[in-house]
Amino acid sequence: MRSTCLEFKDLTLGYQRHAAVHHLSGVVERGSLTAVVGANGSGKSTLMKGVAGILKPISGSIDAAFRRLAYLPQQSDIDRSFPARVIDLVSLGFWQERGLLGRITRSDKTRLFACLAAVGLSGFETRSLDSLSGGQMQRALFARTMLQDADLILLDEPFNAVDERTIRDLLALIRQWADEGRTILCVLHDHALVKSHFPQTLLMARKPVAWGRTADVMTPDHLSAARTFQEAWDENAGWCEEPAPALLPQPAEDLLHDRDVARRAAHV
Amino acid sequence: MFEWLVSPFLEYGFMQRALLGSLVLSVSCAPVGVFLMLRRMSLTGDAMSHAILPGAAIGFLLFGLEIMPMTIGGLVVGLLVALGSGFVSRFTVQKEDASMAAFYLISLAVGVLLVSWRGSSVDLMHVLFGSVLALNDEALALILGIAVVTFLALGIFWRALVAECLDPLFLRSVSRIGGPTHVLFLVLVVLNLVGGFQALGTLLSVGLMMLPAVASRFWSNDVRALCGIAIAIAVVSSLGGLLLSYHASMPSGPAIIMVAGVAYLFSALFGRRGVLASALPSRRHTSA
Ligand SMILES: Nc1ncnc2c1ncn2[C@@H]1O[C@H](COP(=O)(O)OP(=O)(O)OP(=O)(O)O)[C@@H](O)[C@H]1O
Ligand SMILES: [Mg+2]
């Protein structure tokens, strides 16, 4: 199996031709645990949508090599008034395995209950969705993500509205997933958490400001550079003529790879 | 009492056919209505029932009061309207309800023009209000066929339909089946409306679809149960409406929908999740 899970090649993503993320190049190693950090509107969620295949690139490309993807969006589209129980929502996570018609087996159910227990929702199995608190809902979605048993996991601000104890439990889960060799991209705003739990960091400000080992990325210089970027759309903005960022020399361990296309994000 | 309930169906062949037709229609329409309601598309059924009018009218103008041409015409125009409004809303900022409104109004106007162009008002009344009492073999076979297709489609695509209602974004991240499922569902809506308009007319066929579905929501919080309850309400309404129309010499279509309407009002008031249950103050609470 290839050792890279994702490769961005001068990727531009956006809405109605306005770029929200542009000139992103680089690789996400298989089994890496990466925090995606940046100010509001810096394009983190846009990048997640792009990787999940919900948003098509305006230009550039994403080379993806994964078996199964799980995506926990920042804002879900869930209709909370829909007559469904917690297990109905969570068992949507079987889709990739069981598809349209496959039967949910007894061992599947056991796994489902284990996932609910792991996020602390035992006893909530048959509660209706509209009776859940915001944080409980988020935990149910986390359980679904877990159930998907994906090797590439995208988490967009998963700790929204979640209390401290649960954050600790969920972080332990994320840690465990990483140890199992899954590739994880996680958007979050809490810099302390990033520094203590995430080995890799991608710092965004519509384009990548820095990407690499967390200690190298989360420097005061980078952080202040990431704070200044144009957040609002300019209807009269001209076409972006910026050249694709130059290739940076690969870190030593990466030189072992035979593929010469692997890129690191430019420090722009 | 027994006499009153049973003898019309024992004595008259046309009543038996009417009963069979409306029961099959109830079983097929009600679950479709439940999904329409759950997708907040309750009024779409109404719009679509207007939209199929020109199709039925063209069939009627070309071939007279014949089932197949009117059905096929209604089906084609209904699908055009459904897919057209879906298409416009998918590629523009306009929401689906707005484009649906535009399309069905155009369609309705064309339909009324067509019917009034050639044809007496009696014929128009037939297209608009149908008659369950005049179901022939062809119409019964059609209704039966539509019911079978509906049940197969719902059975096979159940998981996708539920996922598409509950969490469409998630479904998009794991599968491409969301779009086709939506289209298939619109086809089912049109099919069932077209099936119903022979019996109940274009204006009322939506009643058997929506009223039982909406009423069922006051009783349960589970999709399967909702479908079951909606079917039960539709069946009882069909039975009651036919009896009412027989004994009180009322037109059958409106009688059926009236009974369904009463069932709705009753459910809204007395249902487990109805007005009284939610409004009655309770001074006690449980500890956990
Ligand atoms: N659906 C959309 N249509 C148009 N523009 C959008 C849409 N979603 C996001 N944008 C714009 O794209 C840019 C990037 O948004 P994005 O949601 O990726 O930010 P983010 O980094 O996730 O921010 P936050 O921390 O607030 O979640 C923003 O300027 C935003 O206004
Ligand atoms: Mg975001």
Range A48-53 contact pairs with CB under 8 angstroms and sequence separation of 24 or more: A48/A73, A48/A74, A48/A154, A48/A156, A48/A185, A48/A187, A49/A13, A49/A73, A50/A11, A50/A13, A50/A21, A51/A6, A51/A152, A51/A154, A51/A185, A52/A154, A52/B173, A53/B173
Using CA coordinates, name the residue in chain B closest to A83. B221
The CB of A206 under 6 Å from ligand 1? The reply is: no
3-state secondary structure of A46: helix
Q: How close is the Cα of A20 to the center of ligand 2, in Å?
A: 11
Q: Which residues of B sit within 8 Å Cβ distance of A?
A: 38, 156-157, 159-160, 162-163, 165-175, 177, 217, 220-223, 226
Q: Across the interface, which of A77, A83, A85 has its CB nearest the CB of B167?
A: A77
Q: For residue B246, how many other CB atoms are within 10 A of its CB?
A: 20
Residue B14 located in a structural domain: yes
Average pLDDT on A44-51 reads: 94
Residue among B167, B171, B223 whose CB faces A83 most closely: B223
pLDDT of amino acid A258: 36
Per residue in A82-95, pLDDT (tens digit) is 999 999 999 999 99
Find out if CATH 3.40.50.300 is the number for domain A4-67+151-266.
Answer: yes
Closest ligand (CA of A49): 1
- Tell me if B55 is assigned to some domain: yes
| B96 belongs to a structural domain | yes
A252 confidence band (pLDDT: 50, 70, 90): very low
Min Cα distance A173 → chain B (Å) is 21
- Interface residue A88 vs chain B (CB under 8 A): yes
pLDDT digits (tens, 9 = 90+) for B67-90: 788 888 888 999 899 888 888 877
Top-ranked range on mean pLDDT: pick from A22-31, A235-244, A245-254, B62-71: A22-31
For the stretch A186-239, pLDDT in tens is: 999 999 999 999 999 999 998 889 999 999 999 999 998 888 776 666 666 667
**Mean of the pLDDT values across residues A157-166?**
87
Contacts made by residues B89-97, CB under 8 angstroms, sequence distance 24+: B97/B43, B97/B44
Cβ of A207 less than 6 Å from ligand 1: no
For the CA of A231, the nearest ligand:
1
| A74 Cβ below 6 A of ligand 1 | yes
Q: Which residue of B has its CA nearest to A154?
A: B173
Q: In chain A, what residues touch B230 (CB-CB under 8 Å)? A: none
Q: Report pLDDT for A259.
A: 36
Q: What confidence score (pLDDT) does residue A105 get?
A: 87
| CATH number, domain with residue B142 | 1.10.3470.10
Atom of ligand 1 nearest to the CA of A189: 25
Q: Per the CB < 8 Å rule, is A100 touching B160?
A: yes
pLDDT (0 to 100) of residue B50: 85
Give the pLDDT band of residue A250 (cuts 50, 70, 90).
Answer: very low
**Cross-chain residue pair B156–A101, CB shorter than 8 Å:** yes
The reported pLDDT for the residue numbered A239 is: 73
Size of interface A-B (CB pairs under 8 A): 67
Closest Cα to atom 19, ligand 1: which residue?
A41
Per the domain annotation, does B169 fall within a domain? yes
Residues of A whose CB is below 8 A from B163? 92, 95
| Range of weakest confidence among A127-131, A249-253, B3-7, B228-232 | A249-253
Domain of B26 in residue numbering reads as: 2-274
| CA A148 to centroid of ligand 2, rounded, Å | 22
Place of tokens 């144009």: A230
User: Which residue lies with its CA nearest to atom 9 of ligand 1?
Assistant: A46
- Say whether A82 and B222 touch across the interface (CB within 8 A): no
What is the Å distance from ligand 1's center to A188 Cα? Answer: 15
Model confidence pTM above 0.90:
no
Among A196, A233, A232, CA closest to A215: A196
Give the ligand 1 atom nearest the CA of A39: 25
Nearest chain A residue to B39, by CA:
A82
Q: Is residue B259 one of the residues assigned to a domain? A: yes
Low-confidence residues in chain B, pLDDT < 70: 118-133
Closest partner CB to A92 (pick from B38, B167, B223): B167
Closest CA to A147 of A93, A109, A106: A93
- Are A175 and A196 in contact by the 8 Å Cβ rule? The answer is no
Q: Where are the domains of chain A?
A: 4-67+151-266, 77-149
A229 lines ligand 1 (CB under 6 A): no
At B126 the pLDDT is 67
Number of domains in chain B: 1
Question: What's residue A263's pLDDT?
Answer: 35
Mutate to test the pocket of ligand 1, among A46, A209, A229 (most ligand atoms within 8 A of CB): A46
Q: Pick left, alpha or beta for residue A164 (phi over 0 → left; psi -120 to 50 → alpha; otherwise beta).
A: alpha
Closest residue in A to B218 (Cα–Cα):
A83
For residue A79, which residues of chain B lie inside 8 Å, CB to CB?
Answer: 38, 165-167
